[in-house]
Amino acid sequence: MRHPVLGLVVMIAAASLLILPLSAHHEITAKFDPAKTTRLQGVVTYVDWANPHVHIFMNVGTGTNIVNWAVELESVIDLQRAKYTRDTVKPGDTLSVEGILARDGSRQVWGNTVTLAGKRILNVPEETVNRAPGGPAPRWPDGKPRLGPTTGTTGYWARPSMTILAENGTNIRANKNGLLANIADAGKVAPFQPWAKDLFELRQRNRLADDPQYLYCLPPGGPRQYQEAYGVQFVEDKDHQRIFVFVGGVDHNWRLIYLDGRQQVGQVRGDSDNPLYYGRAVGKWEGDSLVVDIKGFNEKFWFSNGGLPHTDKLHLTEKFTRTDANTLKYEVTIDDTGAYTRPWSSGWNLQWVAGEELPAFYCQDNRP
Amino acid sequence: MRHHALGSACVLVLALGSLGFGQVAVQGTGGQGRGTQEVGQGASAAPAAGGAPRGGRGAAAAAPAKPTPRKADGKPVLGTGTGEAALWLPAGGGGERFVNPDTADPSPDKLRISEVPMLPWTRALLEYRLENQLEPHTRCKPSGGPRQFLTPYGVEIVEMPDLKQIIIMDLGGPHTYRAIYMDGRPHPANFQPTYYGHSTGRWEGDTLVIDTVGFNEKFWIDRQGTPHTEKLHMTEKLTRTDYNTMKYEVTIDDPGAYTKPWTSGFNFRWTANSELFEYVCQDNNYAPDLMVGAQEFVDRTSKIVP
């Protein structure tokens, strides 16, 4: 997830000699303008230590000219991994902040550098992703690979090797949120129908600001859940022939893949049921690969990083292969005659994060 | 603990009064569009696997009381057995309570409000919440404690002995879950408070005892708004007294809000031929601006949960 950021962010950063934070969980340039830098000193009035982003409020100025600013920082999850806690900064502390200003002119700043008593704090170091293969994939007694941790261990899947959904064979550069390095690449990402290409480009030009996952905390259906910042976990309930997929981010959702041979129909009125965020998913093992077929999606969410459109005709075929203990190969074929001119395929690898529980991130944590 | 900001909460509630009402009304309109109101729909809202109609509220009482199912090791099966599809619903339906009002009939398992040993601020906040049902759950927050079991859609209890976890899958809410660690691990030091806290479980005879600490203060532990603080230490006891009945007892030990620990509870009703479905609270919630805090009137500096 946190490999060096490519693309637009780097171009902007280079142009303005800024180094942007690398791990914000969603596109901060949608809200903040990297070209508008500032430096503030103030006295902390309140610390809102909550996901999705921590906010520190501080009074800036003297005498009758005191105004309150909001300094926005990384998520609680990221800051805690960097060993900071909600007591790192307390009301009354004097902070120096270097950052970039909100585009709307409000008194909000994204804190690139926060300094307390001469010491830099609340920075999230870049994570190095070691993609070296591990040992052989662990297996169940029935010989099938295990998609989750073995008894007595913990771990989950994260750090996708690709952060946008782009057709196999393309070479599209995008940052970790799927924001294109070069907007001229928009039409090359997938075999779009014209309207879908226009909508994708619009979402990109708006710097992903319209993303329902961040605006309304709506679920990441489809391939997107395998590109999330806080990973996924598989819980294989062999006893009931089903697999739970747990999503670390957004709203820490569960969803189900049924392996019990059922039809892909709604639970109440079959195809008349409302379409779903996660669709109706059935799976089966083909050799060492789990093959999942999903249809019945609604259109209320973005099914990929970067905002590729889809319609309720979306039909996905996914293939999961644990090629070694540390690597999960994800392959997906997108068949959506409403948005694309032909079926097309993409895929990436996920990395095993050993020894940690899946993060419990709730998008709405900092809302009253 | 956070009683000193009632004033700002009042301002918030005044600003949001009409919105809040709307949220309560739409709470039940989730991903599959089942149901339209929360109260009293427990018998009809959830789907039936395979299209079979599900029993109404009275069905559980009418069913013969089969004995508690057991695993090979003799422990009761709390979750869904092999070949079964079932949910646990509050026995009293969507209107089930954790604490009874003083006007209700006495219940052997349930305290009345006046019997709960509240600190003065706790009682004031509860009275305020009873008047202003602006519950975080209606804004799609996860709901820990007894509240997790108090939605009309129920929960599925998934026992994963291989993982040494028991996982409780929410249905009515933001489509999330709570893990109970059965591997003997302690609660971690410096745990960042969360909606569900950190839960560890153990067996005492036929009863699963769950010990939870590390709650945040951003949700209500029941539908009426019984307050709690971060000091809450909760002990839940789950006993499947017969096939169709789970006895649920909860001890609330929270010196931030109460003068002494107290215990209340209710029963869950086994609801066969039902299974998990996609209910996403955010799907049709009319308060996205409230959820995301995009509006000026959302006072994020208030420490109180209205």
Mean pLDDT throughout A77-97? 95
Determine the distance in angstroms separating the CA of B110 from the nearest CA of chain A, rounded to an integer.
30
Determine the distance in angstroms separating the CA of B39 from the nearest CA of chain A, rounded to an integer.
21
Partners of B293 on chain A (C-beta within 8 Å) are: 366-368
Partners of A252 on chain B (C-beta within 8 Å) are: 142, 174, 176-177
Within chain A, what is the greatest distance between any pair of CA atoms?
A: 74
Nearest CB to B175: which of A240, A254, A273? A254
Partners of A151 on chain B (C-beta within 8 Å) are: 162-164
Residue-wise pLDDT tens digits, B135-163: 888 888 999 999 999 998 999 999 999 99
Model confidence at B28: pLDDT above 90: no
Nearest 5°: CA angle at A213, between B147 and A328?
Answer: 95
**How many residues does the structure list for chain B?**
306
CA B192/CA B135 separation, integer angstroms? 22
Strands B233-242 and B207-213: antiparallel
Model confidence at B41: pLDDT above 80: no
Q: Which H or E run includes A324?
A: strand A315-324
Q: Which residue has the tokens 């669709």?
A: A279
Give the pLDDT confidence score for residue A26 in this predicted structure.
73
Nearest CB to B293: which of A252, A253, A366? A366
Which of A252, A256, A264 should be substituted to probe chain B, the one whose Cβ sees the most B Cβ atoms within 10 Å?
A252
Given an 8 Å threshold on Cβ–Cβ distance, is B82 in contact with A256? no
Give the pLDDT confidence score for residue A273 in this predicted structure.
84
Query: Taking a C-beta distance cutoff of 8 angstroms, is the pair A275, A255 a contact?
Result: no
Determine the distance in angstroms separating the CA of B75 from the nearest CA of chain A, rounded to an integer.
17
Nearest CB to B82: which of A45, A235, A239? A239
User: Residue A144's Cα: distance from chain center in Å?
Assistant: 29
Strands B207-213 and B198-204: antiparallel
Query: Taking a C-beta distance cutoff of 8 angstroms, is the pair B35, B28 a contact?
Result: yes
Nearest CB to A267: which of B49, B176, B306? B49
Rounded to the nearest integer, the mean pLDDT of chain B is 78
Model confidence at B22: pLDDT above 50: no
Given an 8 Å threshold on Cβ–Cβ distance, is B290 in contact with A235? no
Given an 8 Å threshold on Cβ–Cβ distance, is B218 in contact with A268? no
Partners of A301 on chain B (C-beta within 8 Å) are: none
Model confidence at B252: pLDDT above 70: yes
Residue-wise pLDDT tens digits, B272-297: 999 999 998 888 665 544 544 444 44
Determine the distance in angstroms separating the CA of B199 from the nearest CA of chain A, rounded to an integer.
14
Model confidence at A262: pLDDT above 80: yes
Neighbours of B205 (CB within 10 A): 9
Rounded to the nearest integer, the mean pLDDT of chain A is 91
Question: Within a domain: residue B280?
Answer: yes
Partners of A211 on chain B (C-beta within 8 Å) are: none
Model confidence at A269: pLDDT above 90: no
Nearest CB to B160: which of A214, A217, A237? A237
Residue-wise pLDDT tens digits, A9-41: 333 333 333 333 344 557 899 999 999 999 999
Strands A344-354 and A155-158: antiparallel
Given an 8 Å threshold on Cβ–Cβ distance, is A368 in contact with B277? no
Given an 8 Å threshold on Cβ–Cβ distance, is A216 in contact with B288? yes
Give the pLDDT confidence score for residue B288 in this predicted structure.
47
Given an 8 Å threshold on Cβ–Cβ distance, is A368 in contact with B51? no
DSSP 8-state symbol, B284: G
**Rounded CA Rg of chain B:** 19
Extract the tokens encoding A309. 């459109």
Residue-wise pLDDT tens digits, A122-154: 999 887 788 888 999 999 999 999 999 999 999
Give the pLDDT confidence score for residue B286 in this predicted structure.
52
Angle, in degrees to the nearest 10, between helices B120-131 and B6-26: 40
Q: Which residue has the higher pLDDT, B210 or B82?
A: B210
Query: Taking a C-beta distance cutoff of 8 angstroms, is the pair B129, B304 a contact?
Result: no
Given an 8 Å threshold on Cβ–Cβ distance, is B282 in contact with A216? yes
Model confidence at B109: pLDDT above 80: no
Strands A32-48 and B245-253: unpaired
Partners of B189 on chain A (C-beta within 8 Å) are: none
Determine the distance in angstroms separating the CA of A155 from the nearest CA of chain B, rounded to an integer.
11
Which of B36, B280, B291 should be substituted to probe chain A, the one whose Cβ sees the most A Cβ atoms within 10 Å?
B280
Model confidence at A7: pLDDT above 80: no
Give the pLDDT confidence score for residue A243 in this predicted structure.
98
Determine the distance in angstroms separating the CA of A241 from the nearest CA of chain B, rounded to an integer.
10
Nearest CB to A267: which of B80, B196, B277? B277
Q: Which H or E run includes A15?
A: helix A8-16
Nearest CB to A253: which of B82, B141, B176? B176
CA A261/CA A173 separation, integer angstroms? 40
Given an 8 Å threshold on Cβ–Cβ distance, is B47 in contact with A267? yes
Q: What domain range includes position B122? A: 6-47+60-292
Count how many domains chain B has: 1
Model confidence at B35: pLDDT above 50: no
Determine the distance in angstroms separating the CA of A217 from the nearest CA of chain B, rounded to an integer.
7
Given an 8 Å threshold on Cβ–Cβ distance, is A80 in contact with B192? yes
Beta bridge partners of A94: A43
**How many Cα atoms sit within 13 Å of A276 on the Cβ side?**
26
Question: Within a domain: residue B83?
Answer: yes
Extract the tokens encoding A159. 């750090």
Model confidence at A268: pLDDT above 60: yes
Give the pLDDT confidence score for residue A83 in this predicted structure.
93
Determine the distance in angstroms separating the CA of A182 from the nearest CA of chain B, rounded to an integer.
30
**pLDDT level of residue B262 (50, 70, 90 thresholds):** very high
CA B204/CA A114 separation, integer angstroms? 50
Give the chain A residue nearest B80 (alpha carbons).
A240
Residue-wise pLDDT tens digits, B213-233: 999 999 999 999 999 999 999
Mean pLDDT throughout B259-274? 95
Q: Which residue has the tokens 């427990």?
A: B42
- Which is nearest to A315 in space by CA: A282, A284, A272? A282
Given an 8 Å threshold on Cβ–Cβ distance, is A216 in contact with B291? yes
Neighbours of B119 (CB within 10 A): 18
Each residue of A174-206: b (16+ CB within 10 Å) or e?
A: bbbbbbbbeeebbebbbbbbeebbebbbebbee
Residue-wise pLDDT tens digits, B228-244: 999 999 999 999 999 99
Model confidence at A54: pLDDT above 60: yes
Give the chain B residue nearest A263 (alpha carbons).
B50
Residue-wise pLDDT tens digits, B165-205: 999 999 988 899 999 999 999 999 988 899 999 999 999 99
Question: Which structural domains are found in chain A, ordered by start?
Answer: 8-121 (2.40.50.140), 155-354 (no CATH)
Q: Which of A273-282, B57-66, B121-130 is the least confident region?
A: B57-66
DSSP 8-state symbol, B68: P
Nearest CB to B164: which of A57, A151, A244? A151
Determine the distance in angstroms separating the CA of A185 from the nearest CA of chain B, rounded to an integer.
32
Question: Within a domain: residue B77?
Answer: yes
Residue-wise pLDDT tens digits, A281-316: 999 999 999 999 999 999 999 999 999 999 999 999
Extract the tokens encoding B234. 């909760």
Nearest CB to B169: which of A45, A148, A254? A254
Mean pLDDT throughout A324-343? 98
Partners of B34 on chain A (C-beta within 8 Å) are: 268
Question: Within a domain: residue B269?
Answer: yes
Give the chain B residue nearest A47 (alpha carbons).
B301
Question: Within a domain: residue B305?
Answer: no
**How many Cα atoms sit within 13 Å of A343 on the Cβ side?**
10
Model confidence at B3: pLDDT above 60: no
Beta bridge partners of A280: A295
Model confidence at B246: pLDDT above 70: yes
DSSP 8-state symbol, A184: G
Query: Taking a C-beta distance cutoff of 8 angstroms, is the pair A258, A241 a contact?
Result: yes
Residue-wise pLDDT tens digits, A198-246: 999 999 999 999 999 988 889 999 999 999 989 999 999 999 999 999 9
Whether ipTM tops 0.95, in short, is no
Question: Within a domain: residue B108?
Answer: yes
Given an 8 Å threshold on Cβ–Cβ distance, is B283 in contact with A251? no
- Which is nearest to A321 in space by CA: A133, A153, A145? A145
Model confidence at B79: pLDDT above 50: yes
Q: What is this structure's pTM? A: 0.85
Cα distance between the two ends of chain B: 14
DSSP 8-state symbol, B224: S
Nearest CB to B12: which of A215, A218, A368? A368
Determine the distance in angstroms separating the CA of A170 from the nearest CA of chain B, rounded to an integer.
34
- Cα dihedral sign, A109-A114-A116-A117: negative
